Chain A
Amino acid sequence: MDAESLLLSLELASGSGQGLSPDRRASLLTSLTLVKRDYRYDRVLFWGRILGLVADYYIAQGLSEDQLAPRKTLYSLNCMEWSLLPPATEDMLLQTSVVKGRFMGDPSHEYEHTELQKMSEGEKVFEEEVVVQIKEETRLVSVIDQIDKAVAVIPRGALFKTPFGPIHVNRTFEGLSLSEAKKLSSYFHFREPVELKNKTLLEKADLDPSLDFMDSLEHDIPKGSWSIQMERGNALVVLRSLLWPGLTFFHAPRTKSYGSIYVGTGEKNIDLPFML
């Protein structure tokens, strides 16, 4: 959700119970403005909160002019002092995929993981148990990256591709119509398209190249990994990810207000097929 319209967005997203206490809100409003100034971001998004056992991580993201360019992620424990997280790499994903359980809330906390590694001494090849230490900060980075790639959502038409390539916020976006708002196909993954390139020409024929340059949600696997609800009559659409429970996306049809927030434990729900 946009840092500038944080209060309205929080109110809209409150149906899932994910809120912020008044002192957090006030401090976020203050500190995110400063973040925007200091880091020279075009836009600052309040990304959400990862619940730790001892403390919570508050996450914000800075966007540059090109909306789909790699984002900078910051975290804070007290909503005032923000620290920049390193960009996620493949290695980190691989490394942290072995860590399970809850976050502690201490960035310097080290998870210990024992794994078998093949050691070779001369001709002998034997396996040895090696204790690998994984910092929680690394895990935080990779989890945020995973969530962003899997379930960051944006309504169709909110961004548009300029002829020169960069993707900008669409100022003429007037919100989705009611009938569109009920369909998953009018929501896109807020990331570089992956599936789009694999589509056949026939499927691409109806797409508007200036708007449909991202993957839509409707082909997500497994089918049914989203819960889409109309709340308050039809005044509010709420999308909840079932794959990453805690991610809530809201959009008030026919208005510009939309956004998403993640409040959760930072764990993927791999039991999804059993639960549907």
Chain B
Amino acid sequence: MEDLESLKQEKENQEPGEAGRPWEEIAASSQDPESALSEPLESEQWPETGPQPRSSLPQSPLSRSSTPLDDLTGPGASSPPSPPQEDSSTPSTLALAGQELATPWQSDKTTVNVNPKAGTPRSHHLEQSSDKGESTAPQTCQSEGNTFQQSQQTKRLLYGPEDMSDNNSEQKELRFNVFQEEDSNSNYDLDHAEPGVSEVAPSLLEIAIQSAKAYLLKTSSKSGLNLYDHLSDMLTKVLDERPENAVDIIESISQDVKMAHFRKKLDTLQNENEMLPIYEIAEKQKALFLHGNLEGADQELEDEIAENSLPNVMESAFYFEQAGVGLGTDETYRVFLALKQLTDTHPIQRCRFWGKILGLEMNYIVAEVEFREGEDEEDIEDEDVTEERDDGDSEADENDEEELPRTFYKTPQPIPKEESRTGANKYVYFVCNEPGGPWVKLPSVTPAQIVIARKIKKFFTGHLETPIVSYPPFPGNESNYLRAQIARISAGTHVSPLGFYQFGEEEGEEEEEVEGRRDSFEENPDFEGIQVIDLVESLSNWVHHVQHILSQGRCNWFNPTQKSEEEEEEEDEEKEEEKGEEPDYMEQEVGPPLLTPISEDLDIQNIPPWTTRRSSNLIPQYAIAVLRSNLWPGAYAFSNGKKFENFYIGWGHKYSPDNYTPPALPPVYQEYPSGAEITEMDDPSVEEEQAFKAIQEKAAALPVEEMEETEEDEDEEDYDQE
């Protein structure tokens, strides 16, 4: 707006001067608005440069020159602002236009002289028209031509650099100028004496027109054009070419003008191709689809093993689909390929699609894996690291000053985690966020993590590194929590039809057999299948084949007192006192043994823990038995009598009809009972001291030895009391 106003002011300043000029000058200035866009250039220069040539030149009839000028300057003037991309070329054309426009009032002949220069860089018709002019010009104004050309050159020197520097700001000004001029144009035509009436007091109408023009000038985000320039280009073209029946072919003219914009981009900045996530994931998953072909041909040996370890995901997905659970066909197939990738790249003996755990930002696809013998050393390294860390802590504590009493509190003995391949760490779990993404191995689970995980309820975020902020504090980040939940869900919901697995006889003897509990099982080669109807009707036909996790956090009982017996007896006693409250201290905690029927599972407040269903009531002969866990919503199992599979999909939380309640705070440690050791005697009173003195004096009379003995006794007493 400031630009606008200043421009207006400039104009107003000019106008009084113009009014005083001869008629011809006014006529000349009245043409300027039409040629329009170079106006500010001129208006600034006029006072200095204008008068000079004019005074030197003879006045010529301008009425004649006006019509060709319209044609000539019109296109030149309107073209520069229209394409903003043309930056590099605009300054020169602007300057040229300025020169061109400076000329008209001088004479017919001078315009002729200028035009060839101005026209050359531009479109064809200009040259043509200028050629026409040229043919007539040279004879008539040879004499003046020389003088004018000189002034022309000086002008160019003057204008050139300014134009270049002001280019940007001027382009804007120019646009606004155009409006005003068009407005005022009509005024000029009607009444030359009052050119600036509409500009002095901006009316509502003018504002409306301006806003309408501003709308027309809105640059399209697609083509970079605006309607105003387009219309003016079209009109220019029409006026240039003067076709018959222009109104009929206006559409094609419009098209031609648009086509004329078809030009090279001069932008040096290149648009970097956006990497949309959809392409990224497609690129990753492409690797899945290609992988099989490449690897399969090369190593037959590897493949044999891999094929054995790879589960038939599609088959079980088909059965789960009958049950109304699953990921959808193509998603399942992608998971299938991702599992293949996993088995191809790791020494895996057995692999299974465990399920999917939903997260807030991303989900986890979980694969359950058993390594081949002796190929999972990574676990051991992990353990060492954690143990070392624990030692470091305890050592630091011991280095405290010795004089002050040290803390009696000892952290309850950490229950060691189970060896890999046993108990809750029987399987290794890999997770990935999306099929095609990298598989990440989850750390093995510790009993402490399971114990704490039982007390908290948290959503997964989808990032394994997220810290778990909870009460009680969870030892580890989200990967540990995920692993703990997987262990809990597996232990609770992995079931198989009765008889499918049996205890391995040889291995059972090797293991520590406590009360008939055995840890291992093997597939029953003589399994003949169970009728589906039996599986549906009786829960006792389903058995757990994953070990129950004790409240200790382990599958196999670890006696925390064993070690302490070796240590000093006193400490043992203390511990007994501390732990006496816990009922599971003395007795070994026992859970249901392996291959226990699920009919013996505990109820959840009158809610049965399992729901069985037949997948189809319409075609019972081909239906399968579907088992749904009510304790872990999202856990399913199916069996068609011979085959079975377990699957979990959900948030990874246990169901409880009641609200989650944070665990109670630990009991406040009781203060030391106020006894003889705490209370002190009153200060000895004067009488006592006097009495003591009297005794001392008596004693002084006695032999010295006796006195010493009594003093020692007193000292000892004091010491004991402390």
Contact = CB atoms under 8 A, between A and B. Distances in A.
A210 interface: no
B328 A19 contact: yes
A24 B324 contact: yes
A274 B359 contact: no
Nearest to B458: A275
Interface SS of B by simple majority: loop
A240 B327 CA distance: 16
A11 B333 CA distance: 14
B611 A275 contact: no
Contact of A17 (B359, B456, B649, B660): B649
B615 interface: yes
Contacts of B328: 11, 14-15, 19
B278 A229 contact: no
A21 B617 CA distance: 12
B358 A21 contact: no
A23 B615 CA distance: 9
A20 B607 CA distance: 24
Interface in A223-254: 224, 227, 229-235, 240, 242, 245
Nearest to A10: B328
Interface in B312-329: 321-329
B659 interface: yes
A274 B278 contact: no
A123 to B, nearest CB: 40
B331 A100 contact: no
A271 B322 contact: no
Contacts of B279: 233
Given A100-B657, A275-B457, A14 B327 contact: yes
Contacts of A264: 633
B277 A19 contact: no
A20 B616 CA distance: 12
Contacts of A205: none
Nearest to A270: B659
A102 interface: yes
B349 to A, nearest CB: 28
Contact of A234 (B276, B630, B657, B662): B276
B403 interface: no
A225 B329 CA distance: 29
Interface string B506-519: 00000000000000
B459 A232 contact: no
Contact of A101 (B361, B649, B657): B657
Contacts of B282: 233
B591 interface: no
Given A24-B324, A229-B363, A102 B607 contact: yes
Contacts of B619: 23
Interface residues on A, range: 35 or more
A131 interface: no
Interface string A154-188: 00000000000000000000000000000000000
B281 to A, nearest CB: 4
Contact of B358 (A16, A78, A275): A16
B91 interface: no
A271 B660 contact: yes
Contacts of A94: none
A202 to B, nearest CB: 25
Nearest to B356: A17
B325 A19 contact: yes
Interface string A244-276: 010000000000000000001100001100111
A17 B278 contact: no
B363 A274 contact: no
A53 B633 CA distance: 12
Contacts of B650: 17
A150 B606 CA distance: 29
B1 interface: no
Nearest to B280: A233
A100 B655 CA distance: 12
B95 to A, nearest CB: 43
Given A22-B321, A234-B276, A242 B657 contact: no
B278 A234 contact: yes
Interface in A13-59: 14-17, 19-24, 51, 53-54
B362 to A, nearest CB: 7
B176 interface: no
B363 A19 contact: no
B324 A21 contact: yes
Nearest to A178: B276
B607 A101 contact: yes
Contacts of A23: 615-616, 618-619
Contacts of A51: 628, 633
B447 interface: no
Contacts of B608: 53
Given A17-B327, A21-B616, A235 B278 contact: yes
4 A-B pairs closest in CB distance: A233-B278, A14-B328, A17-B649, A271-B660
Interface of A: 11, 14-17, 19-24, 51, 53-54, 78, 100-102, 224, 227, 229-235, 240, 242, 245, 264-265, 270-271, 274-276
Given A233-B276, A275-B459, 4 more contacts: A23-B619, A102-B657, A227-B359, A271-B660
20 contacts: A11-B328, A14-B326, A17-B634, A19-B328, A23-B615, A23-B616, A51-B628, A51-B633, A54-B611, A100-B657, A227-B360, A227-B459, A229-B362, A232-B281, A233-B276, A233-B279, A233-B282, A264-B633, A265-B655, A274-B662
